[in-house]
Structure formats: structure tokens, C-alpha cells
Amino acid sequence: MAEFTFELNDDQKEVRDWLHGFAADVMRPAAAEWDEREETPWPIIQEAAKLGIYSLDFYAQQFFDPTGLGVPMTMEELFWGDAGIALSIVGTGLAAVGVLANGTEEQIGTWVPQMYGDANDVKVAAFCSSEPDAGSDVAAMRTRAVYDEAKDEWVLNGTKTWATNGGIANVHVVVAVVDPELGSKGHASFIVPPNTPGLSQGQKFQKHGIRASHTAEVVLEDVRVPGSCLLGGKEKLDERLARAREKAGSGAGERVKNAAMATFEASRPAVGAMAVGTARAAYEVALDYARTRVQFGRPIIENQGVAFQLADMATQIDAARLLVWRASWMATAGKPFTHAEGSMSKLYASEVAKSVTAQAIQILGGNGYTREYPVERMHRDAAIYTIFEGTSEIQRMVISRALAK
């Protein structure tokens, strides 16, 4: 276990600078175009794959970084480049984390490589949990998975929504109800292989921000998947369900982790890092503007009102990054989030991103409100961080419950 440190080592700095160069030279020049087109930026994903940024090997190296800082460092740099394009590049990772958190070694080895493809044939994957009537309230999930013992197949029916890469993915990871009486404890995750009959894309959403990232409904109509596509296997599922039934029958309050929450807990600090990247990008634009914009005979940064805003923005960004790094290190070191440190990092960084991007617009004045400057897009992008993978209200609920124990 690596000791917690505020300093990146030489290898990490080299990776950070490499990612920063890609973000600055490839992502930023294309950001406004793909935001307007509202389409998946396949050429940029392809370029990332050719360079080794969009690959299983690269993300595995960052995921297994013993300091825990590989993933948040990667997310911050890419989302500094552009949030919509970055989410198209890293969105597959949520599905991969779903398999890593719940799958067997054989399932991980079989399916995660297929989520990425290779530099000559790029693929993406989708994690499908939210539903039209079950977003934060995972206990209200209606998508059902019924086991056909005679054929050793699971039959999935339902509609998922807000799925990044939904419908265009090579591999879909779907969370479904296997025992409705157990609420959220009766959920399981399934792999839906490529070209499986019955899976189709529903509505594609036209969004306020992160427009370069594909978000859509996924419709499941009598989708049959082999028994081997149940993440973790049936024996493990049966044992977990039996424990949940026993606890429910005895009235005991021990928590049984469900499939979706296992994925979200692992990914929340990474979302915090995304928010830090967007906030930092907007802050840097505002800082540069304040240094060069002259009003009343002097740069506006010499006005205390502007200077103090920038001071607060810089402080909040650093504080958010430290919370993200702490949570990421704790997760890698196997330290439990006894005070919901993962949710703390996601909550604070998300709120900082919204605040900092709004302040950036204010500092740029009328220019900040136009699409000629990127802070308008960054502000729209930042809004998602307080919503997806658990709203800020849900994070506060998780934190307050942890404090009350």
C-alpha cells in the first residue's frame, strides 16, 4: 500500500503531461464543433486509441496505480480539455468498472477487452442502471431478469434511460431486478453481448451540456443472455439473495450491497476529478482574461472584486482536488469510506464546478455569455456533475447517514 502523498511521481507527471498535450492539441480545437454537432466524436476517439489513451491497457494501468491517483489525474486532464469529448472517451470505463466490481476473473477477461476494441476497430460500452421512474431511487427499478433454467438463460425486459453510449455500444452492462421483494438488494448485473436480439436504442437525448457524449434510452424486449452473462455467477447471486432474505426476515439492518451501488461507489471520486478538470479549465480562461482585459486604464485583475473571485475559485479547486485524491487513495488502499469520503469528494467537486464556471462567465462579462469564449460551454457542461451518478442531494443523504452511524 502506497502512502498518501500530495506529489505525483515522475512517471505520473509524464503521463499527466502526455494527456495534457492531447487535451490541448486534439480535444480543445474540436470542442466547439462537436458540441454543436451533438454527435459522438469517433475521429477523436480513434486518435485517442491510436495513441494508446483509449485502451484497456492504459486504463488498467491507471486503475491499478498503487497510489490511487492514476484515474483522477487522467480524468482531470481529459475533462480540462473538453467535458463532452472526454466523456465519449472515458464513458466506457463505467461499464468496465461495473464488470470489475461485480464480475468473475473469467468475465473480466472476456468482456472488458470487447468494450474497447482496438485502434483499428474502436468500440464503446454502456452501463445501464437508471430508468424513467428509477433514477436516484434504485429500489424503484422495474427492468426484470427472469431465469430460464431449462436453457440456462436470463430473459431481460424493461427500459433504461440516461445511458452513456446506450444503443451504440458493443457491450451493454444492464442492472435488473431478479427478486422484486428484496427491493434494491434484489438486483443483479448482466452482460448483454454485441448484436443480441431484443436490445434497441430508444430516444436519444438532446442535452444542455456534454453534447458530444451520446446519451440515450436502451429498450430491452425479451433479451436472452446466457447464464454466464450474470456478473459474479448464479451461485454467488443465490448466496447473496439468501442472506438478504434472512436479514429481511429477522429484521436485522445489515447492509447488502447491490450491483449498481457497487459501481457508483467505485466511480464517484472519478466523477469528482472530472468536475475538477472542468472547473480548472474555466478558472484558467477567467484568469488569463482578467490579466489581459483592460478597463479604466488597468487590467481587471487589479480590481479587488475580480481578484477575490479568482482567489476563491483557485482555493475551491484545490480543496476539491484534495478531497478527490484522498478518496481515490483510500479506495486503492482498501480503507472504508466510514464518513462517505467518496460521496464527499463527488459532492464538493461537483458544486465547485458549477460555481467556478458561473464565476468565470461573470468575470468575462458579456463575452462570457457568448459561444466565442469556451466558458459558456464549460458552464453548461458543469451542470451534469451535480446530477449523474447520484445527485448532490443523494450525496448529502449518503454522507449524513454515514455520520449518523
Q: Active-site residue numbers?
A: 389
Residues 6+ apart with CB under 8 A from 30: 41, 44, 82, 85
CA distance 387 to 380: 13
CA distance 126 to 136: 18
CA distance 353 to 303: 24
Of 74, 22, 60, nearest to 270 by C-alpha is 74
Residues 261 and 184 sit within 8 Å (Cβ to Cβ): yes
State the amino acid at position 159 in one-letter form: T
Give helix 70-81 / helix 10-22 axis angle, nearest 10°: 20
Query: 369 phi and psi, to 5 degrees?
Result: -85, -5
Question: CB-side exposure of 82: number of CA atoms within 13 Å?
Answer: 29
Residues 6+ apart with CB under 8 A from 391: 136
Q: Would you tell me how many other CB atoms lie within 10 Å of the CB of residue 13?
A: 12
Give 3-state DSSP helix, strand, coil % of the chain, rounded to 5: 60, 15, 25
Residues 331 and 68 sit within 8 Å (Cβ to Cβ): yes
Q: Which stretches of 234-357 are assigned E, i.e. beta strand?
A: 294-295, 298-299
CA distance 119 to 100: 23
According to the 3-state scheme, what is the secondary structure of 4-57?
Answer: CCCCCCHHHHHHHHHHHHHHHHHHHHHHHHHHHHCCCCHHHHHHHHHHCCCCHH
Q: Which helix (H) or strand (E) holds 122?
A: strand 121-122
Please give the grid coordinates belonging to residue 123: 468500440
Query: 210 phi and psi, to 5 degrees?
Result: 35, 50
CA distance 134 to 143: 10
